[in-house]
């Protein structure tokens, strides 16, 4: 929870004090910031400040007499625990959408929203009959938050060719050609990860994602503008056609596009850009950000960098799991997370976590995005399940891994082993699958769930998300989930493979490796692609019910562990070798 001089219970009333002057009867508060990113700076934690809910996805609607908080299945329990029930009702957005709630609660009312924090896609999803949505020039939360932190404006540095494998000039030429072919003058760059990828820059304005807070414009002549103060740049831009302009000049630049066609992504661009451009007489092309797809397809240099990042990460995880086996019992969840962080920090290349570590003992593992807080966290007891989901940023790659561990000394109960093995079977089946070039990821999702379905079990989150390269740990457009997203898988994409099962009140299970899409080694025209497993960390053999595995699944796991052993043994301290040998031994 954010520290503030204002008690949580008093904050909604302070915001409501501004409703009358702004001409509204309610306000929609999004989780995103002015760049619509997943992770936000303390300055932009408006949803958490107002409601107490700290999840990475969701929104709230504050009315004059009531309020609702909405998020997906990852956060239903967390919302209920963090948002005071006397002030807020909490809702699974897949069961009660903000639009439905507004239609029921706000008939005939004018509801405000901040156009700098809202995309066209978001706005369309909120629109309900009988409710008027009004863009505001002032955000009532900013007006009510007396100790709101300052906006970040940290240093911006060049990402070298040794890590990117492609110059900014080459990227801009490719994308500018598409703009010219479409008859478009320029494209708005409001997604900080797109700006970072296109211009080969990185920053530290937010935790866990190495981006700089700035907007940009790519022009059809391959030149680009970045709107940020020149003092922020630690190096000169990669070439002279990347122009640094003061942030305050953005509006004037947008107004200069009168009668020209400007491309913007309605899903990732604040609607404020559309308002300014349309007022200036520009024509809007609502089309996807041209950076999104090529950013997801890693160059050979980026692929090698991610392999290197995963080896460093695997060394840290091996040290941690060895330590956990000997010293984990009695430790608090936050202490366990800190210990893992310390093992990662032993590498001089470690730049920090790629997301906040999920360190969950026993029943807390049943919350897929559990967040341990010091002073409120649980202790790891004997004979319980421990789930740890974590990731790291290295200058050449980004990692994400989950392991579920049995903290003995007794044998795990049959029900836990059965569920764990079903999750493992799904992970193995997806890892082994060959598939045609361009197959959308959603068509693979069933492979990770079938073994769970056979037991009457399932999980309420996606199976896999894309991963950036020293960028966001959650990257599109590729994914593996029940959502029918059409993006086809092509060589160079990296995705997570993380089926799970969650027994509320008892335990959680998730096994996550990262997969690189590559050309298949099988000489058959219908199966052009396969996965390379990038993660090299043992899977807890104590939780496996061997009789549930097929011969092919046993062989895959034995080969996986043999690879882990071969790669890690020369890199680990000698005192860890017996643990690694035992952890990677073939199944009986």
CATH number at residue 38: 3.40.350.10
152's CB contacts (< 8 A; 6+ apart) are 41, 43, 205, 206, 213
Dig out the tokens for 118 from the structure. 């809202």
Q: Output the pLDDT for position 526.
A: 64
pLDDT in tens, 560-580: 999 999 999 999 999 999 999
Please say if the pLDDT value at position 483 is more than 60.
Answer: yes
**Residue 149 placed within a domain:** no
pLDDT of residue 362: 97
Rounded to whole angstroms, the Cα distance separating 235 from 367 reads: 43
pLDDT for the residue 512: 98
Quick one: pLDDT at residue 524? 65
For the record, the structure tokens of 140 come out as 């009532």
| Cβ neighbourhood burial of 88 (10 Å; 0-12, 13-18, 19+) | buried
160: confidence class by pLDDT, cuts 50, 70, 90: very high
In a domain, 33, yes or no: yes
In this predicted structure, what is the pLDDT of residue 237? Answer: 93
Asked whether 303 and 397 are in contact (CB, 8 A), the reply is no
Query: Is the pLDDT reported for residue 153 higher than 90?
Result: yes
Distance CA 446, CA 569 (A): 35
- What is the band of 38 on the pLDDT scale with cuts at 50, 70, 90? confident
Residues 427, 443, single domain; the answer is: yes
b/e burial code for range 534-561 (CB count within 10 A of at least 16 → b)? bbbbbbbbebbbeebbeeebbebbeebb
* Secondary structure (3-state) at 417: helix
How far apart are alpha carbons 73 and 369 in whole angstroms? Answer: 10
Which of 273, 272, 274, 279 is CA-nearest to residue 258? Answer: 279
Pair 270, 304 in one domain: no
Pairing of strands 156-158, 507-510: unpaired
Task: Give the model confidence (pLDDT) of 484-532 as tens digits.
Answer: 999 999 999 999 999 999 999 999 999 999 999 999 987 766 669 999 9
Supply 412's token pair. Answer: 């795990």
Q: CA 501 to CA 368: how far, in whole Å?
A: 9
Task: Give percent of the chain with pLDDT exceeding 70.
Answer: 99
Q: Are 228 and 358 part of one and the same domain?
A: no
- Which of 258, 291, 324 lies at the terminal end of a domain, its last residue? 291
Flag whether pLDDT at 1 surpasses 60.
Answer: no
Q: Which of 269, 291, 313 is the last residue of a domain?
A: 291
**Residue 475: helix, strand or coil by DSSP?**
strand
Cβ atoms of 381 and 362 closer than 8 Å? yes
Is 3 among the domain residues? no
135 and 38 belong to one structural domain:
yes
Q: How would DSSP label each residue in 372-394? A: --TTTPPB--TTEEEEEEE-EEE
Are residues 281 and 328 both part of a single domain? no
The pLDDT score that the predictor gives to residue 176 is 98
Query: Which class for 265: exposed (0-12), middle (13-18), buried (19 or more C-beta within 10 A)?
Result: buried
Residues 114, 195 share a domain: no
Query: At residue 68, what are phi and psi to the nearest 5 degrees?
Result: -130, 145
Domain assignment present for 115:
yes
Q: How far apart are CA 164 and CA 477, in angstroms?
A: 19
Torsion angle (degrees, nearest 10) of CA 358, 360, 366, 367? -40
35 and 79 co-located in one domain? yes
Same-domain status, 113 and 22: yes
Instruction: Give, in degrees to the nearest 5, the angle at Cα 369 between 103 and 418.
Output: 115
Q: Where residue 74 falls among pLDDT bands split at 50, 70, 90?
A: confident
pLDDT digits (tens, 9 = 90+) for 90-103: 999 989 999 999 99
Q: What is the pLDDT of residue 521?
A: 83
For residues 211 and 203, the answer to whether their CB atoms sit within 8 Å is yes
User: Per the domain annotation, does 461 fall within a domain?
Assistant: yes
Which H or E run includes 407?
strand 401-407
Question: Of 431, 423, 428, 344, which is closest to residue 385 (Cα–Cα)?
Answer: 423
Tally of structural domains, the chain: 3
Q: Is residue 72 part of a domain?
A: yes
Q: What is the pLDDT of residue 293?
A: 98
* Residue 403 to residue 17: CA distance in whole angstroms: 48
Residue 345 contacts by C-beta under 8 Å, 6 or more apart in sequence?
none
Is pLDDT above 60 for 187? yes
pLDDT at 76 over 90: no
Q: Is residue 442 part of a domain?
A: yes
Residue 224 φ/ψ, nearest 5 degrees:
-145, 145
pLDDT score of 276 more than 90: yes
What is the mean pLDDT of the segment spanning 2-29? 94
Determine the average pLDDT of the residues in 231-257. 96
Q: What percentage of the chain carries pLDDT values higher than 90? A: 94
Choose the final residue of a domain: 81, 116, 144. Answer: 144
Mean pLDDT across the chain: 96
Residue 549: asked if its preceding bond is cis (omega within 30°), the reply is no
If you ran DSSP here, which 8-state letter would residue 472 be given?
A: -
Whether residue 244 sits in one domain with residue 258:
yes
Q: Are 428 and 327 part of one and the same domain?
A: yes
Helical pair 414-432 and 445-453, crossing angle rounded to 10 deg = 150
Q: Identify the bridge partners of residue 495 per DSSP, sorted by sequence position.
A: 466, 515
d(CA 321, CA 42): 32
Residue 180 domain boundaries = 156-291
Greater model confidence, 32 or 445:
445
What is the distance between the alpha carbons of residues 364 and 384, in angstroms, rounded to a whole number?
11
Residue 290 pLDDT > 60? yes
What lies within 8 Å, CB to CB, of 551 at 6+ separation is none
The answer to whether the CB of 306 falls within 8 A of the CB of 397 is: yes
Q: Are residues 140 and 60 in the same domain?
A: yes
Residue 211 lies in a domain: yes
Q: With a cut of 70, say whether residue 443 has pLDDT above it.
A: yes
Say which CATH number the domain at 352 has.
Answer: 3.90.230.10
CA angle (38 as vertex; 252, 103 as ends), nearest 5: 85
CB 72 within 8 Å of CB 66: no
33, 109: one domain: yes
| Pure H helices in 200-332 | 250-255, 271-279, 292-296, 300-327
Dihedrals φ, ψ of 584, to 5°?
Answer: -110, 10
């Amino acid at each position: 929870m954010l520290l503030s001089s204002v008690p949580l219970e008093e904050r909604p009333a302070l915001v409501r004090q501004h409703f009358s002057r702004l001409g509204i009867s309610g306000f929609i508060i999004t989780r995103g910031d002015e760049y619509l990113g997943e992770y936000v700076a303390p300055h932009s934690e408006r949803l958490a400040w107002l409601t107490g809910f700290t999840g990475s996805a969701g929104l709230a609607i504050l009315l004059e007499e009531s309020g609702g908080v909405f998020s997906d299945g990852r956060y239903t329990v967390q919302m209920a625990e963090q948002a005071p029930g006397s002030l807020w009702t909490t809702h699974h957005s897949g069961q009660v959408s903000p639009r439905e709630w507004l239609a029921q609660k706000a008939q005939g009312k004018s509801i405000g929203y901040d156009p700098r924090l809202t995309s066209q896609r978001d706005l369309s999803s909120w629109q309900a009959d009988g409710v008027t949505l009004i863009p505001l020039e002032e955000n009532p939360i900013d007006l009510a938050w007396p100790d709101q932190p300052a906006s970040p404006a940290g240093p911006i540095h060049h990402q070298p060719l040794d890590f990117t494998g492609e110059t900014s000039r080459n990227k801009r030429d490719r994308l500018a050609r598409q703009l010219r072919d479409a008859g478009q003058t320029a494209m708005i760059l409001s997604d900080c990860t797109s700006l970072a990828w296109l211009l080969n820059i990185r920053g530290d304005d937010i935790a866990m994602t190495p981006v700089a807070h700035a907007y940009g414009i790519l022009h059809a002549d391959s030149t680009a503008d970045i709107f940020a103060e020149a003092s922020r740049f630690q190096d000169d831009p990669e070439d002279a056609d990347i122009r640094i302009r003061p942030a305050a000049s953005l509006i004037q630049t947008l107004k200069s596009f009168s009668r020209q066609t400007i491309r913007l992504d309605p899903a990732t661009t604040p609607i404020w850009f559309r308002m300014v451009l349309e007022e200036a007489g520009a024509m809007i092309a609502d089309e996807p950000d041209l950076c999104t797809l090529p950013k997801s397809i890693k160059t050979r240099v980026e692929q090698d960098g991610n392999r290197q990042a995963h080896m460093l990460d695997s060394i840290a995880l091996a040290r941690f799991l060895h330590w956990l086996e000997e010293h984990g019992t009695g430790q608090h969840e936050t202490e366990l997370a800190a210990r893992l962080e310390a093992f990662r920090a032993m590498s001089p290349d470690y730049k920090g976590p790629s997301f906040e570590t999920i360190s969950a003992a026993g029943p807390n593992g049943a919350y897929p995005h559990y967040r341990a807080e010091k002073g409120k966290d649980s202790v790891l007891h004997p004979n319980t399940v421990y789930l740890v989901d974590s990731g790291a940023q290295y200058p050449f790659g980004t990692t994400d891994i989950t392991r579920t561990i049995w903290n003995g000394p007794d044998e795990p109960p049959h029900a836990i082993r059965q569920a764990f093995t079903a999750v493992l079977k799904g992970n193995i089946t997806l890892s082994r699958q060959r598939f045609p070039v361009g197959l959308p990821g959603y068509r693979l999702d069933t492979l990770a769930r079938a073994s769970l379905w056979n037991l009457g079990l399932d999980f309420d989150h996606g199976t896999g998300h894309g991963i950036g390269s020293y960028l966001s740990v959650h990257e599109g457009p590729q994914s593996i989930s029940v959502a029918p997203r059409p993006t086809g898988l092509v060589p160079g994409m990296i995705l997570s493979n993380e089926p799970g099962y969650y027994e509320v009140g008892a335990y959680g299970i998730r096994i996550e490796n990262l997969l690189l899409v590559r050309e298949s080694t099988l000489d058959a025209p219908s199966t052009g692609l396969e996965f390379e497993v990038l993660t090299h960390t043992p899977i807890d053999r104590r939780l496996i019910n061997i009789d549930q595995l097929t011969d092919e699944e046993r062989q895959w796991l034995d080969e996986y562990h043999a690879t882990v052993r071969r790669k890690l043994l020369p890199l680990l301290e000698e005192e860890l070798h017996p643990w690694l040998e035992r952890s990677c031994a073939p199944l009986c």
